[in-house]
Structure 1
Amino acid sequence: MDHEKPVQEVLAKMTDGGVDRSVECTGNINAMISAFECVHDGWGVAILVGVPHKDATFKTHPMNLLNERTLKGSFFGNYKPRSDLPSVVEKYMNKELELEKFITHQVPFSEINKAFDYMLKGESL
């Protein structure tokens, strides 16, 4: 692929105007912008899942919004702790869910900001 051409332009040419849906999971701000800019005018939907760096700025031309593209976010997969958590606990208690393999760090509550730093740097789950 020609690396001088933005990905969204390549996809627009390949798909005759843009993709119907895109999902961004990395948290990389440039990937987020590309995911939004590669959707089709009029009906394209970009869903941002990744968590960007706290100082990141999402910049795109206003026409991308005026052309009826849709930008959505999905923080924690729209998980609802109050209603969804009891079933997760039950699965864990029945040994149907192995949470231990998802633990990358153990941080005391008094150092909670350190845990958020790990997450924002992409060094933990």
Structure 2
Amino acid sequence: MTNGGVDRAIECTGNVQAMISAFECVHDGWGVAVLVGVPSKDAEFKTHPVNFLSERTLKGTFYGNYKPRTDLPKVVEQYMNGELELEKFITHKVPFSEINKAFEYMLKGESIRCIISMEE
């Protein structure tokens, strides 16, 4: 279907099998797979070594590689100007005393973003 593989594959689920599939479907020589999703702490990524020897590239990104000092002020400005709708990405709100619940939501894939309130 792709005549040898795709140029770019992006995985966003955190499912290790999807990560492996993304890497294994990129084109030999120049294909790049970018892993965005956060896998469970016990997950293992296994693929045949020839997938690396055929010059495929595997990259990961954490929080989109934002640079807090320069990028966050821009995001805040966009939000304050009404140009960015952040509320639709917030799926849960928990008090600080239940912070472990926020981690459970994340690890189970039940949350996009969770607000942790410092007030009870």
Q: Per the shorter chain, which TM-score range?
A: 0.7 to 0.9
In structure 1, list runs of 5 or more residues that go unmatched.
Answer: 1-13
Matched, 1:57 2:68: no
TM-score by length of 2: 0.83
User: Counterpart of 1:66 in structure 2: which amino acid?
Assistant: L
How far does residue 91 in structure 1 lie from its aligned partner after superposition?
2.4
Shift of 1:39: 1.0
> Whose helix proportion is higher, 1 or 2?
1
Q: Which has the higher strand share?
A: 2
Residue matched to 2:30? 43
Cα deviation for residue 59 of structure 1 reads 0.4
- Residue matched to 2:69: 82
Residue of structure 2 in register with 1:21 after alignment? 8
Q: CA RMSD in A?
A: 1.5
1:81 and 1:38 mapped to 2: Cα distance? Answer: 33
CA pair 99-16 structure 1, distance change in 2 beyond 3 A: closer
Instruction: Give the secondary structure class of the aligned counterpart of 1:118.
Output: helix
| One-letter amino acid of the structure 1 residue matched with residue 7 of structure 2 | D
1-side partners of 2:101 and 2:69: how far apart? 26
Tell me the number of residue pairs that the alignment of Structure 1 and Structure 2 aligns.
112
Deviations 1:27-62 (A, max 9, x none): 111111011011111111111111112211100011
